[in-house]
Amino acid sequence: MLSQTPATWTVRGATFALWGLAAASAAFWALKLGGSSAPVLAPLPPARPVLSADPGAIARLLGSAPAVASAGDPQPTLASRFQLVGVVAGERSGGGAAVIAVDGRPARPYRVGTALDQGLVLQSVRGRTASIAASMSTPPLLTLELPSQRSDLPAQPAAIAAPR
């Protein structure tokens, strides 16, 4: 007669454990792939309203004196919107560029024929002046001139002649 040794029970126990793990894995994947429920999403918090900043309040906070604005304030003129800072003019070619500050923003260089603002182009530059027009073929609407030099500053060249 055959007697069962302890080693056989170890093999039987290991086999039972492996089959149990295989069955558990099959059940897990069957539930995972067979389920058609949509994932549950957490509700979104309500959107916070966007607050607009009051420029006058910010200016007072930073120590500025409040500017009184009335309804009858005139709109800025075309000449007050542009400030000529520098000119590079071609001597014979008529080309060149001008450094212009528009509406108080930092000055930028503009080549002849480039749009400065909606409906305005830099038409020409000569010496210390720059002409602004509605198009290249219309008469100039505005001629900007470099500010005169102050006597307390060292002399600087008025304009730089660009090579052709």
* Of 116, 109, 111, 114, nearest in space to 90 by CA: 111
Q: How far apart are CA 105 and CA 6, in angstroms?
A: 92
Please give the Cα distance from 147 to 152 (Å, whole number): 14
Local structure of 57: helix, strand or coil: helix
Q: Give residue-wise pLDDT tens across range 22-75.
A: 999 999 998 888 776 666 788 888 888 877 888 878 888 887 765 555 555 566
Q: What is the pLDDT of residue 48?
A: 80
Strand, helix or coil for residue 39: coil
* C-alpha dihedral sign at 92, 95, 97, 103: positive
Stated pTM of the model: 0.46
